[in-house]
Amino acid sequence: MTHNLKRTFAILLMAFFGSTFLHNCEPDPDSLGEQLFNDDAAQGNEIAYPVIAYNYSNNDSIRSDAARLISGVSESGSASYVGVLGAFTENQFGMQKASYVTQLRMPVDNYDFNGANPKVDSVVLVVRPPANTAANTYFFEGDSLKTKTFEKTDFPVDGVATAVSIEKKMYPVRKYGKTAGSKSMKINVHEVTTFIDANDDSFKRSNKTISTGELLGSGVFDGTISSTSITKKSDNSVVFTGNLGFRMKLSNTDFFQTHILDKKGKPELQDASNFIRYFKGIKISVDETDKYLYQFSPNDLQLIMYYKYDKTENGTTTRPQTTLNFNLGGSNAHLGLYEYSRSGSSVAAALAASNPSEGDERLFVQGMGGPSVVVKIKDETIAKLKDIFVKDKAGIVSAKIRIYLDAATWKNTGSTEDRRFSLLTNTLDAGGKIDYKKLAFTSDLTNGLGLYYFKDKPEPGYYDFVVTKTVKDLVEGKKETVDGVEQLVVNKPLIISAGTFAANATGTLLGVRNTTRAFDMNRIILTGVDKTNTNPKRIQLLVTYGTKK
């Protein structure tokens, strides 16, 4: 080893501690063998070992209720939620469609509608982007803000025709899927007729069957969200401000008249418990099967009913207009519904031929209940490393599982790629099934040694998943306590899934099951095993260790 290379190793080893969660940036090796490099007196070696990696079917089902739609927690302690709408089809993963179901509640119990004879004028659904989206290029296609300004002389303000100026700012949402050609999708809103029982675990899964009744309205979403500001021409006072979102007018006002306003004073509106069993919720879905997916904020959905009522003052009766804002927020049960059609797709063939014993040549990873990848470090590899550790007094500097992107992986040309992964450990049952209730962080992640990093050269790029302490614990015979019993650390499979770990404002992870997997739109193909060991881009375990001269 040259003097410069040895010096580089020493610097890397001493510089690492302090890192917590790493993504798309390169971590240094940890200091687990640092003593070997004191006084520049060590040799560094990197050896590649084969691993077993195979496709794992999650049966296109995932827990997707409110508890799994959390993207993070703010400094104030409030959670940010993300839902997905749309549909997308291509030949590698097939068709994926995302809908959304939510309960809703009256703003207060036994609502009195301000006065007598309330009548619906209109009902509007507003779908808003996730928090802080306007400044986040993850959701927008570059700097493509468009502004329209126009004037009206007869805009009604308090029942009086008024001259106003209207400014509308339009932003394209980040689309995952087909972005060329027409970007319009028809969005439908239906009444839900299935009671959503939040205490029933079957209502927490993305493939739950939810029945619907009347169509409440439809609208064409053109791929943009907008904000609107209306001001009086006379004094520039603000008449109306509409925050960023997509506003859709629901045509079935008769439904809201008979089901809501006509129930004034009746048991159906008496309290929230009665109401969610009477009006069970709404489902938002799209007609299309081959457009794109996009994300929105479930807790910022608005369903606004505009209505007039009788108001009598000093013997005079008027009909002022007011609004009723239904509560669609966190107190309600939410559910992301995902449908798949895999017929004829590459992923269907790969899952059918999955080989847990020898591994698969191509690995398919997809969010929202799609497949994961199981990686096994071979026991014989650990035995070889133990032999080196004992005979040569070697110290492990770093260990990483390198996985290349497959050339056929989907390239989302409409906006910046943002592929994310979670890496967890687990012990499979006798049938080779993952028990998601027993997932655990890797010892690398719990010890602040990072998760993975990405290199885009050579194309199409590769990911290095950090397993330094995981491997070191196995090689050095470390012990752990399981169910109160101390035992040697076991060589457990590693589970790679789409979606990263959710965290609070300080970066602390919320837990092993709190990931963005339930609403991650990505579909990724990775290069797997090569039984001939001739493909330079095959998946490998790369171990760097140092030995005394």
In the chain, the amino acid numbered 175 is K
Distance of CA 476 to the CA centre of its chain: 37
Is residue 13 within a helix (H) or strand (E), and if so which, with residue range?
Answer: helix 3-15
Place of tokens 């928090």: 131
pLDDT at residue 24 greater than cutoff 70: no
Give the pLDDT mean for 511-535. 93
Longest dimension (CA), the chain: 103
| CB-CB contact of 346 with 72 (8 Å) | no
Look up the pTM and report it: 0.87
What is the per-residue pLDDT across 395-449, written as a single tens digit (0 to 9) for each? Answer: 889 999 999 999 988 888 766 678 999 999 988 888 889 888 889 999 999 988 8
Give the model's pLDDT for residue 250. 97
More confident residue, 33 or 126: 126
Strands 462-466 and 70-73, sheet pairing: unpaired
In the chain, the amino acid numbered 459 is E
What is the per-residue pLDDT across 170-189, written as a single tens digit (0 to 9) for each? Answer: 888 888 998 777 789 999 99
| Burial of residue 138, with CB atoms counted within 10 A of its CB: 0-12 exposed, 13-18 middle, 19 or more buried | exposed
Question: Torsion angle, CA of 200/208/84/325, rounded to 10 degrees?
Answer: -60
User: Average per-residue pLDDT in the chain?
Assistant: 86
Query: What is the rounded CA–CA span in Å between residue 319 and residue 412?
Result: 52
In the chain, the amino acid numbered 44 is G
pLDDT at residue 221 greater than cutoff 90: yes
What confidence tier does 36 reach under pLDDT thresholds 50, 70, 90? very low
Q: Dihedral of CA 526/531/536/542: which sign?
A: positive
Query: What is the rounded CA–CA span in Å between residue 93 and residue 521?
Result: 12
SS (H, E, C) 364-391: EEECCCCCEEEEEECHHHHHHHHHHHHH
Query: What is the rounded CA–CA span in Å between residue 171 and residue 204?
Result: 33
Residues 55, 60, 65, CA angle at the centre, nearest 5°? 125
Give the model's pLDDT for residue 546. 85
Query: What is the rounded CA–CA span in Å between residue 533 and residue 356?
Result: 18
Give the model's pLDDT for residue 539. 97
- Cα of first residue to Cα of last residue in the chain, in angstroms, is 10
| CB-CB contact of 98 with 185 (8 Å) | no
Give strand pairing partners of 284.
100, 189
What is the per-residue pLDDT across 285-313, written as a single tens digit (0 to 9) for each? Answer: 999 999 999 999 999 999 999 999 988 88
